[in-house]
Amino acid sequence: MPREFTRNDRVADALQRELAQLIRDEMRDPRLGMVNITAVEVSRDLSSAKVFVNLVGAESAQESEAAAELLNGAAGFLRSQIAKRMQLRVTPRLRFIYDLSGKRGQELSALIEYAVNSDKQRHRDPDSSGEE
């Protein structure tokens, strides 16, 4: 019977939980704000990890990208803290990447809602039945 999750998946999940706690408790930079870790991808050899983040309440994409760069600057500190907390032979190098998927999902949802509402409105109007 095959395993449900690979080792990479389990390490990625544990990294996500530990990083969320570390960023919340140990990072004291006021420019950071509330960081949401949306996903973690770990390489096959567990030597590197891509951490996808977005900033809760960010006004612009530039603000969120700046937060990702700030986290990349603190990646060494976070990696050392991860090494102390997790029992891994090799602690992955961390690379933080701004995740656009949440914002893009909201935009697509708004477009779909607009299309559905306009379609309902068109079918409700007796004047717009196509007869002239």
Do 131 and 89 fall within a single domain?
no
Q: Which residue range(s) make up the domain with 47?
A: 7-99
Tens digits of pLDDT across the chain (132 residues): 566 778 889 999 999 999 999 998 988 888 888 888 999 999 999 999 999 998 887 777 788 888 889 999 999 999 999 999 998 899 999 999 998 877 777 778 888 988 888 888 888 766 555 554
Do 48 and 112 fall within a single domain?
no
Classify residue 19: in a domain, yes or no.
Answer: yes
Torsion of CA 104, 105, 110, 111, to 10 degrees: 70
Contacts of 20 (CB under 8 A, 6+ apart): 35, 37
Do 67 and 40 fall within a single domain?
yes
Q: How far apart are CA 35 and CA 32, in angstroms?
A: 7
Q: How far apart are CA 6 and CA 41, in angstroms?
A: 12
Do 84 and 70 fall within a single domain?
yes
Classify residue 95: in a domain, yes or no.
Answer: yes
Reported pTM: 0.75
User: Which pLDDT score, from 0 to 100, does residue 119 have?
Assistant: 86
Neighbour count for residue 52 (Cβ, 10 Å): 20
Do 83 and 112 fall within a single domain?
no
Do 46 and 67 fall within a single domain?
yes
Q: How far apart are CA 118 and CA 112, in angstroms?
A: 10
What's the domain count of the chain?
2
Do 80 and 56 fall within a single domain?
yes
Do 85 and 61 fall within a single domain?
yes
Q: Which two tokens stand for residue 48?
A: 């590197």
Do 48 and 108 fall within a single domain?
no
Helix (H) or strand (E) holding 116: helix 101-124
Do 17 and 80 fall within a single domain?
yes
CB 94 within 8 A of CB 51: yes
**What residue type is assigned to position 96 of the chain?**
F
CB 83 within 8 A of CB 93: no
Do 16 and 78 fall within a single domain?
yes
Classify residue 26: in a domain, yes or no.
Answer: yes
